[in-house]
């Protein structure tokens, strides 16, 4: 049986690995535009004599980026889906403005003040096509789970699906 200290160290290593790899995958997948989601990924560990607590938190939309969202036309294997309400236009318009994405007129010249239109078009596209799962959090979590000491898994009867479900809290 692992000691309390060894259990804590194993869980801390697990937590650190998941956070570091999740942030890395988020950056590599180019889903780290504002760094808001990146900076919000945190984890907490607590070990008691007969139990332990381990949970992660991140911005609410992190779960949608990780698991994806099915659109009205394109479906993914995810618990989330768009049915009647489109994503908000303002954040998408702000994103387009920060990236200097603009529409052109028939003559090829840039139109002025069309960021709300771009936000609407992106929103409609996301509503129809959904958000492809990135698994930026799920993959590192599963990799770290594989590395946990067998004694820890047996002592607490841990299952990756149950642990993943109960440790990810929305911020």
- Mean pLDDT per block of 10 residues along the chain (171 residues) reads 76 93 91 85 84 87 92 94 93 89 87 87 96 94 87 69 59 46
- Local structure of 169: helix, strand or coil: strand
CA–CA dist 161, 71 (Å, integer): 25
Place of tokens 């479900």: 165
Residues 6+ apart with CB under 8 A from 112: none
CA–CA dist 39, 159 (Å, integer): 28
Per the DSSP assignment, residues forming a β-bridge with 110 are 104
What pLDDT is recorded for position 168? 58
Taking the model in full, what pTM does it have? Answer: 0.80
What pLDDT is recorded for position 165? 64
What pLDDT is recorded for position 76? 95
Structure tokens at 78: 């995810």
Question: Within 13 Å, how many C-alpha atoms sit on residue 7's CB side?
Answer: 20
């Amino acid at each position: 049986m692992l000691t309390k200290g060894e259990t804590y160290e194993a869980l801390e290593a697990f937590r650190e690995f998941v956070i570091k790899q999740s942030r890395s995958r988020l950056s590599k997948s180019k889903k780290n535009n504002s760094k808001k989601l990146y900076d919000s990924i945190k984890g907490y560990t607590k070990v008691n004599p007969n139990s332990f607590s381990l949970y992660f938190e991140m911005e609410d939309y992190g779960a949608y980026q990780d698991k994806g969202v099915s659109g009205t036309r394109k479906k993914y294997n995810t618990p989330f889906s768009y049915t009647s309400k489109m994503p908000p236009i303002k954040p998408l318009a702000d994103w387009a403005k920060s990236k200097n994405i603009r529409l052109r007129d028939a003559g090829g010249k840039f139109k002025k003040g069309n960021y709300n239109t771009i936000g609407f078009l992106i929103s409609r596209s996301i509503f129809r096509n959904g958000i492809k799962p990135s698994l930026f959090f799920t993959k590192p979590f599963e990799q770290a789970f594989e590395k946990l000491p067998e004694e820890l898994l047996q002592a607490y009867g841990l299952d990756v699906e149950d642990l993943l479900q109960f440790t990810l809290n929305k911020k």
